[in-house]
Structure 1
Amino acid sequence: MSTHKIDPDKVLDFETIGEIVREGRKLALSDTARKKIERCREYLDKKLKNIREPIYGINTGFGSLHNTTIAEKDLEKLQENLIRSHACGTGPEVPREIVKLMLLLKIRSLSYGYSGVQTETVEALIALFNNDVLPVVYEQGSLGASGDLAPLAHLCLPLIGEGEVNYEGQKVPAASALKKIKLRPLKFRSKEALALLNGTQFMGAYAVWCVMQAQQLLISANKIAALSLDAYDGRIDPFDVLIHSVRAHIGQLFVAQEIRDHLEGSAIIN
């Protein structure tokens, strides 16, 4: 089974995502991603050590509590509490294939090295993905204003050994699944939970899935159209490239070409 290296300098397109999902590829951080993540974390640690002024979401409360200063000894607890407090989604469970895409997109987002997380946090998300330990996420609860807060809280709650996951065909406590894959619950450092919750990987995963399904639908529709044309003794002339190049619509040209390709060599249509 091949491994896909997460590289922030390379485009992650629909084709690559499709290959990762269909072929069950494992993920790993590229050296570039690892260096960027580590450099950003080092910068944040240095900044916290050298200044005393408040930095939102790191040593302050959130939202209306932004003027509340958090003591240094409570910075890690603040991050854990942020994840716990937002893991309050409702409704049906998000399908597992969407959850897996959420993990992929979150890992990709953090790989750019702008979020201030530890490398260990990204590696833990990769471990969930590679071992098919899929957090239980609920469909309702996201506004998408500052991010998909509730769904992403559920996605990342298992990192600290809490919440539930789907693993080996069963819904189980996250702590037991982590134990089976030999992954220790994390201790979040300053800013990490904020970085994990801020993002649009919930709606992004649904968008990617819809596009992938639409692409598959288009492929099937073109094959069905070509087969039907052949079966009903139709004509190939209306799909000639000269006709469709007049309008120059990319999609129209593509479909016409697909139908011609499918019918190439047909004794009936020709």
Structure 2
Amino acid sequence: MITLTGNSLTLKQMKEVLFNEQNVCASEKSMEAAQKSREAVERIVSEKRVVYGINTGFGKFSDVLIDQEHVQDLQLNLIRSHACGVGEPFPEVVAKAMVLLRANALLKGYSGIRPVVIERLINLVNKNITPVIPQQGSLGASGDLAPLSHLALVLVGEGEVFYKGNRMDALTALQLEGLSPITLEAKEGLALINGTQAMTAMGVIGYLEAELLAYESELIASMTIEGLNGIIDAFAEEVQVARGYKQQIDTAARIRQYLSDSLLTTMQGELRVQDAYSLRCIPQVHGASWQALDYVKEKLEIEMNAATDNPLIFDDGEKVISGGNFHGQPIALAMDFMKIAVAELANISERRIERLINPQLNDLPPFLSPQPGLQSGAMIMQYVAASLVSENKTLAHPASVDSIPSSANQEDHVSMGTIASRHAYQIIQNVRRVLAIEMICAMQACEFRGVEKMSSHTKNFYEKGRQHVSSIKQDRIFSKDIEVLAEWLKTIEFSQFIKDLSLEKGTY
């Protein structure tokens, strides 16, 4: 059981809840803070003080006073009118992450929402009732209004959910679990939808996959080094220390560990004096991507525990401040940074693929073909990798540099952070397929060199890979191989393999 406090949620805990079915609960102290904040809202309503979001309209309607008798209608109208997201729904795991993150943020005690609403959010997490939330429609400021409105609909018994493998009406799923819809009171609708949880949830899932991919890219690159009789000197510790970047030093150390007992690597001058940059500069390029991922992780863990709605309630309601914590710029920039960092892993991987298959760049059979000419071998797999890399270049264009005013220019600068997080996730899927292609080619190259000469680590990896993709004995439909291997690279089995290598860094 993971206890939510509003202040201490980590990526490791998110992984436990989202992928290992760990349940959550709210800390007693945080629930007391939420109750205290709620009492402040109720005093404001009873005293008929005019406070944005409690008894006023929203956005450009902030100057419109709402009668007390219509406060409940105001909240329900807000949720319904803002639930206008479009497109395919977020993956279920992302939507579940949104619910978890929203509950955690409300537990900080600045939002004025009743504890019963937080309890219901936790019910949704623990019972795997997952809102159907369209991916498109958020500007990433004033919060992720459209996506979070679809989440909030479920609490009032409207909208749709994924439940036990089926897509159904939310009310039906609630009833199956013995839960009743909630009637939203003053400020509660606004508190539920004014936040950055869509972009942050998408970012969390993206980061967890990207971190694993970064590890995988190093191990796959190590196998490529063996397939090309790469020069190990370039990974020497003193070379990395001379520059000083920790992530570069760590990347080179892992590759030295992977290749420590390999008979396929060479020394400087043995076969050639230098390798191409796509081999020689792995620590520098991959290390730079790790730097970016470390930045992303830091920002996500701050945002996961942030109060991002508006207004926020302080000093028992004496201060109710309309600020801008809903603005997604910190996560928008982090997601754009992650896009570029992960895309680079595919950029350099595709160049290694070219070196594995191009007979002008190695002494292997052309295109790793078992019968060059009669059979094309890996020729078109490189085309696919090049296509994915090119697509990533368009997706990596920063979303955060764009802004379109909304709400009659009241909201005149927005982050587009949710677009950035969605594009980052698309890039990650493309990168995984490029790495799968490199792995297929590297395994084939190592077969030509002699599997028995591989290092113990890469040979173990090779043997696991061969359980999913067989050796290329003749041309076949390689699309299936790429997808099967990419899916394997995404599995928990591989993260356990990473642990077996005694790596200390990261979530895995």
Note whether the superposition's TM-score is higher than 0.5: yes
Deviation at 1:77, TM superposition (A): 1.7
Name the counterpart of 2:140. Answer: 144
Classify 1:9/1:210 alpha carbon distance in 2 versus 1 (closer, same or farther; 3 Å): closer
Name the counterpart of 1:21. Answer: 18
From 128, 133, 137, the equivalent of 1:132 is 128
The letter of the residue matching 2:12 is: E
CA distance in structure 2 between the partners assigned to 1:205 and 1:181 by the alignment = 25
Q: Where does structure 2 lack aligned partners over 5 or more consecutive residues?
A: 266-454, 456-508
Asked if the contact 1:160/1:187 (under 8 Å) is kept, the reply is yes
Provide, for residues 174-228 of structure 1, a one-character-per-residue CA deviation record: whole Å limited to 9, x for no partner: 0000001111100111100001110111111122222212101111111212333
Name the counterpart of 1:255. Answer: 251
Deviation at 1:20, TM superposition (A): 2.6
CA distance in structure 1 between the partners assigned to 2:102 and 2:90 by the alignment = 16
Provide, for residues 58-84 of structure 1, a one-character-per-residue CA deviation record: whole Å limited to 9, x for no partner: 111223332332222221121111111
In the alignment, is residue 202 of structure 1 matched against residue 192 of structure 2? no
Asked if the contact 2:34/2:115 (under 8 Å) is kept, the reply is yes
CA distance in structure 2 between the partners assigned to 1:258 and 1:35 by the alignment = 47
Classify 1:32/1:237 alpha carbon distance in 2 versus 1 (closer, same or farther; 3 Å): farther
In the alignment, is residue 37 of structure 1 matched against residue 29 of structure 2? no
Name the counterpart of 1:181. Answer: 177
From 2, 5, 13, the equivalent of 2:3 is 5
CA distance in structure 2 between the partners assigned to 1:268 and 1:33 by the alignment = 57
Deviation at 1:231, TM superposition (A): 5.1
The letter of the residue matching 1:23 is: N
Name the counterpart of 2:62. Answer: 66
From 108, 111, 121, the equivalent of 2:104 is 108
Provide, for residues 77-135 of structure 1, a one-character-per-residue CA deviation record: whole Å limited to 9, x for no partner: 21111111111111111211211111122112111111111111111111111111111
CA distance in structure 2 between the partners assigned to 1:20 and 1:261 by the alignment = 32
Deviation at 1:138, TM superposition (A): 0.7
Deviation at 1:265, TM superposition (A): 4.9
Classify 1:218/1:122 alpha carbon distance in 2 versus 1 (closer, same or farther; 3 Å): same
The letter of the residue matching 2:27 is: S
Secondary structure of the residue aligned to 1:124 is helix
CA distance in structure 2 between the partners assigned to 1:245 and 1:13 by the alignment = 31
Name the counterpart of 1:157. Answer: 153
CA distance in structure 2 between the partners assigned to 1:55 and 1:38 by the alignment = 19
Asked if the contact 2:56/2:63 (under 8 Å) is kept, the reply is yes
From 87, 97, 100, the equivalent of 1:91 is 87
Bigger Rg, structure 1 or 2: 2
Deviation at 1:5, TM superposition (A): 0.8
Moved more, 199-208 or 61-70: 61-70
The letter of the residue matching 1:48 is: V
Runs of 4+ in 1 over 6 A off after TM superposition: none
CA distance in structure 1 between the partners assigned to 2:70 and 2:173 by the alignment = 28
CA distance in structure 1 between the partners assigned to 2:132 and 2:7 by the alignment = 31
CA distance in structure 2 between the partners assigned to 1:242 and 1:167 by the alignment = 55
Name the counterpart of 1:214. Answer: 210
Aligned alpha-carbon RMSD (Å) = 1.9
Secondary structure of the residue aligned to 1:215 is helix
Asked if the contact 1:8/1:32 (under 8 Å) is kept, the reply is no
Using the size of structure 2 for normalisation, the TM-score is: 0.50
Aligned length: 266
The letter of the residue matching 1:99 is: A
The letter of the residue matching 1:71 is: D
Moved more, 172-181 or 254-263: 254-263
Name the counterpart of 1:243. Answer: 239
CA distance in structure 2 between the partners assigned to 1:52 and 1:123 by the alignment = 28
Moved more, 68-77 or 230-239: 230-239
CA distance in structure 2 between the partners assigned to 1:95 and 1:218 by the alignment = 22
Asked if the contact 2:132/2:150 (under 8 Å) is kept, the reply is yes
The letter of the residue matching 1:4 is: I
Name the counterpart of 1:79. Answer: 75
CA distance in structure 2 between the partners assigned to 1:227 and 1:65 by the alignment = 61
CA distance in structure 2 between the partners assigned to 1:219 and 1:21 by the alignment = 21
Name the counterpart of 1:48. Answer: 45
